[in-house]
Chain A
Amino acid sequence: MSEHILQTKNLSYSYPDGTTALDDINVNIKRGQTTAILGGNGAGKTTLFLNLNGVLKPSSGNVIYGGKSIEYSKKGLTALRQAVGLVFQDPDHQLFSASVYQDVSFGPMNLRLSEEIVRKRVEESLIKTGIYDLKDKPTHCLSFGQKKRVAIAGVLAMEPEVLVLDEPTAGLDPKGVGEIMRLLKEMQQDLGFSIIIATHDVDIVPLYCDYAYVLDEGKVAMEGSPNEVFSKAELLRNLHLRLPRIAHLMEILRKNDDFEIGNFASTISQARKEIKRWRENLRLVNK
């Protein structure tokens, strides 16, 4: 078992109309971790995800799952799609049935599981995503956030090894963002899958992610732990992104207001720790 569950090697992809959406991408996704794919609009995040799931076939380069290059045969693709579950950006592009229950059952049914097992999985993922009470409602009567949960439940029911989510928090209210992210992290702890999320919402990255890639015009522009990536503010701004609010505040405090804060902080708890430490230092100096 290799350390990386999913990798791409020199992956390039051009759309039939000639747009080069991905250009020589090398990404390594560690088992059991949460990886963020950052990038502005049109950077290539969605295209990358479609390649990871085998919906699009690379123009050149490879997608490697569990140490092996994926096969684009029917059998290979079925295996890949079970292992790598993709939740789409817009739930209306994913939910095809007017019935929540039917939609969630679609994925596991395609895995040719017995009816009993499918029912069990459907019920479980409806409960885990907190939408069990909605199972009798028609899809078109749900709110956006609820549809998003149904979309996630539909992929969870396939019990993937890697859960790939395209903008899971876009269009959600602040409470919804927290809920969805916590939900994902809890499920990750229970089930041990790896998560990849595409997002422009930089604030969630230091909170929930272990590693981050920044894409720009189809290339990997930066990579590293969230703090490594966010410590390069200038570079990030050139890539249509910004710092997390807290990191920005800390940057201003350090640069403009002469706070001598040593370590980089991009979440509330990190910042709190750093500021407390700074205060202790100040007290010691004053004594």
Chain B
Amino acid sequence: MINIDTFAYNSKLKDRDPMEKLLFTFVTLSVCLWANSIIISLTVLLIMTWSTIYGGGIPRTVYFKLLLIPMVFLIFGVLAVAIEITPQPYEFLGSISFFNFYLGVSKAGLITATQLFFRALGAVSCLYYLSLNTPMIDVMSALRKLRCPKLLVEMMSLIYRFIFIFITTAETMIIAQSSRLGYSRFMSGYRSLSLLISSIFIRSYQQADKIYTSLESRGYDGELNVLEKSKGYISTGYLKVLGINVFLVILTFII
């Protein structure tokens, strides 16, 4: 998560209009899910991978490693879909018998599974495109522009900020504990961990209190009113989003 965050701030697409990226992600994602065709899914996967690696300049190895993470879940999920258990061997391409049952793979099941696999992978690539190329701050400012409930966006932004404060706190505390041999044996490690968790809990409470005080001193009145940096975005990107997705939809109907 932290890594994805740093990549987003270094992406070459960082300064593109976040709204455009959000739209590109979710429209393409919807088309990919709706089309339910291996070719479309592969095309989406290709487009998104290309945009992320060449457009955003995210290192290839990092990208493929990240893509491997959902792969594990995907493979298990897809296996569950592909493998059927029936009392009779029914149109199976191959099967093993098992007491009175047959464990096998049918042609239809195999097609569904493959479709599902690529559809999910295409969808994941869309989300990676967004998260690897868009700093969280920009995502939130786009959500704000989309009239997302204010409270929700404020919560998101506070949580996002706090995550980093707590990770740093937790890191320092873990280092401090290990330097006093807190994790050298199983039992002491167990105890150190419980201490760590409880003190992080107390810290977060205090932190929230302190932030509230400081917000108050700057005139907080229940709403975090802030201004976004104004950037002159060019809107040709929207045409690209439209173009690509019209192409995908037409492709779906042709094949």
Interface residues of A (CB under 8 A from B): 50, 53-55, 74, 78, 81-82, 85-86, 88, 90, 92-99, 101-103, 105-107, 109-111, 115, 118-119, 122, 135-141, 154-155, 158
With A96-B161, A140-B164, A141-B9: A110-B210 Cβ-Cβ less than 8 Å: no
Residue of A nearest to B169 (CB): A92
B161 in complex: contacting residue of A50, A54, A140, A154, CB < 8 Å: A140
Least Cβ–Cβ distance between A216 and chain B, in angstroms: 24
A residues in contact with B213, CB < 8 Å: 50, 55, 93
Shortest distance between the CB of A124 and any CB in chain B (Å): 14
A-B contact pairs, 8 of them (CB 8 A): A53-B217, A93-B211, A99-B229, A102-B157, A103-B226, A110-B220, A141-B9, A154-B218
Given B168, B217, B224, which contacts A81 in the complex, CB threshold below 8 Å?
B217
Known: A109-B225, A110-B225. A119 touches B219 (CB 8 A): no
Q: How far is the CB of A120 from chain B (nearest CB, A)?
A: 11
Q: Are B229 and A101 in contact (CB under 8 A)?
A: yes
Contacts of B218 in A (CB 8 A): 81, 85-86, 106-107, 110, 154-155, 158
Q: Give Cα A140–Cα B229 distance, bound, in whole angstroms.
A: 18
B161 touches A95 (CB 8 A): yes
Check: B207 CB closer than 8 A to any chain A CB. yes
* A98→B163 CA distance, assembly (Å): 10
Q: Is B197 an interface residue (CB 8 A)?
A: no
Q: B171: CB under 8 A from chain A? A: no
CB nearest neighbor in B for A118 = B227
Query: What secondary structure prevails in chain A residues at the interface with B?
Result: helix
Could you tell me how many residues of chain B have their Cβ less than 8 Å away from some Cβ of chain A?
32
Q: How far is the CB of B105 from chain A (nearest CB, A)?
A: 48
Known: A81-B218, A93-B211. A106 touches B165 (CB 8 A): no
A101: contacting residue among B211, B216, B224, B227, CB under 8 A: B227
A141–B215 Cα distance when bound, in Å, is 21
In the bound complex, do residue A93 and residue B224 qualify as a contact, i.e. CB atoms below 8 Å apart?
A: no
Binding site for A on B (CB under 8 A): 5-6, 9, 135-137, 157-158, 160-161, 164-165, 168, 207, 210-211, 213-221, 224-230
Is there an interface contact between A94 and B226, defined as CB atoms closer than 8 Å? no
Least CB distance from B209 to A in Å reads: 9
Alpha-carbon distance between A93 and B206 when the two chains are bound, in angstroms: 10
Given A98-B137, A102-B227, A138-B137, answer yes or no on A92-B165 (Cβ-Cβ < 8 Å): yes
Contact A96 B229 (CB under 8 A): no
Q: Closest 5 interchain pairs by CB?
A: A110-B219, A140-B164, A105-B227, A93-B210, A102-B226
Given contacts A88-B214, A138-B9, contact A101 B219 (CB under 8 A): no
Given the interface pairs A93-B211, A98-B160, A138-B9, the reply to whether A106 lies near B225 with Cβ below 8 Å is yes
Closest-CB distance, B87 to chain A (whole angstroms):
58
Cβ-defined contact, B137 with A137, below 8 A? no
Are B161 and A102 in contact, with the CB atoms below 8 A? Answer: no
Q: A99-B137, A110-B219 are in contact. Are A119 and B227 (CB under 8 A)?
A: yes
Question: Given A50-B213, A102-B226, A138-B9, do A97 and B157 touch, yes or no (CB 8 Å)?
Answer: yes
Q: Are B227 and A138 in contact (CB under 8 A)?
A: no
- A12 and B217 CA atoms in complex are apart in Å by 20
Q: Report the separation of the CA atoms of residues A95 and B213 in the bound assembly, to the nearest whole angstrom.
A: 12
* B157 adjacent to A98 (CB under 8 Å): yes
A139: chain B residues at CB < 8 Å are: 161, 164
Check A107/B219 contact, CB under 8 A, given A93-B207, A98-B157.
yes
Kindly identify which residue among A78, A86, A122, A155 contacts B227, using a CB–CB cutoff of 8 Å: A122
With A and B bound together, what is the CA distance between A122 and B225 in angstroms?
14
Question: How many whole Å from A133's CB to the nearest CB in chain B?
Answer: 13
Interface centre among B161, B215, B218, B224 (most CB of A within 10 A): B218
Contact B216–A55 (Cβ < 8 Å): yes
Chain A residues within an 8 Å CB radius of B164: 98, 139-140
Expressed in whole angstroms, the Cα–Cα distance for A90 and B214 within the complex equals 10
Chain B residues positioned under 8 Å from A141 (CB to CB)? 6, 9
Among candidates A96, A119, A158, residue contacting B215 with C-beta atoms closer than 8 Å: A96
Having A96-B224, A97-B137, A155-B218, one finds 17 other A-B pairs with CB under 8 Å, namely: A54-B217, A55-B213, A74-B221, A82-B219, A90-B210, A93-B214, A95-B161, A96-B214, A97-B157, A97-B224, A99-B226, A99-B229, A106-B224, A109-B227, A122-B227, A139-B161, A158-B219
